[in-house]
Chains A and B, each alone.
Chain A
Amino acid sequence: MDIFLQQVVSGIATGGIYASLALALVMIYQATDVVNFAQGEMAMFSTYLAWSMLNAGVPYWVTFFATVALAFLLGLVIERLVIRPVESAPILSIVIVTLGLLVIHNSIAGWIWSYIQKPFPSPFPSRPVHMGPIIVGAHDIGEISVTLIVLLLLFAFFRYTPVGLAMRAAAHNPVSSRLSGIRVSRMLMLGWGLAAAFGAVAGMMVAPIVTLEPNMMGGIQIYAFAAATLGGFTSPGGAVLGGIIVGVAENLVGTYVRFIGTELKLTVALAIIIIVLLVRPRGLFGRAVVRRV
């Protein structure tokens, strides 16, 4: 029983990581109607920027917020230079461009910082927290709290601010938005910036656990896709819950289903994606999107 509880709790902790990246995916989908396959690699790249700052002796929280700001700018620049030219191209072209961005970020990071793993510090204490028979790392608790704060900010931003509303409008109906005076391309740019900023937060929370290297987001991104698919790409809250469900499921299956073990864990994420798409394509909390083609 204790093993079970322990696995559930550490599943929630890993789920928090998936959730934080899934939030960035949902953010960009809400704001631009595009699924960004480079989200994880952009987060990894930002985390390297943070690592360089920390190495230069900048204090952690200064680095944290500076990285978020830099990632935001990076997101704006990428949208302007790479996405804008294909903005009106078919969705498949845009998806391919984001796949290209994935490879480019990965290679440039490897070229600048090499592929050798680097330790990345956590802002939270390293001692574990005992809760009855269960042990939880302080970083896990901190990281989940950060994810929940980001979720809250995201929700409030889209729901209560005029700019958030304009971003949703621009994503869903660009023509009508322009006729209402909304500068659609500016909103798309802002969406990329914000998603990159949230991704940077995810990267800095992930790096202490998996250690920093150019491929650190590879597996996590697949889990994040599973999380966003499960929760629904239109629902930030769903994406977080989806992340936690995926994390727990992955842990329990890895522990109790002998032949899966740690090697086949990633398959669980892919199985979740396929099952959700077959059974309930809009996810648990997403809205069905009907398009006239």
Chain B
Amino acid sequence: MTRMIKPAIADRSADAQVEVALTVNGEAVRRSVSVRLLLSDFLRHELGLTGTHVGCEHGVCGCCTVLIDGKPGRSCLTLAAQANGYSIRTIESVAAADGTLHPVQQAFKECHGLQCGYCTPGMVMNILGRFEEKEPLDLSDDGIRELLSGNLCRCTGYLNIIAAVRRAAELLGKTPA
């Protein structure tokens, strides 16, 4: 192929921008973003936190679940603009700085609770958020199913994830309700 002159291409869209200031994984972040940028895209492509995955962009699969002010929520159903002032936690903040897995992550590993790993960050954030809620935990099979409902997994058939939740509760010293 003959060399051609590199074309000049606009780098950004001409969308109206909005300033957002929020906390992500404990760090203050201030950016100017398109008004329509989804929080999921903001985290992944503006901040480089690609551990938050995008599976459906209509709120059904749960892959993009992050903690929004401490509570699990869909980052694909939240605008970055809306998140002004929020505190967001993503999967990147869960393991220790040296990479040591958090008990929820450790439990997934022990119980073979993941295969392709695409749904996993959303699962972990959902579980973590629920564990951090004051509401008592129901660690029966059905109680855990209720906790996990809202996160699709296409690989595992869920049973090992159910086991992982129970194991994580044990590692964290959580007692059932």
Query: Do these two chains really belong together in a complex?
Result: no
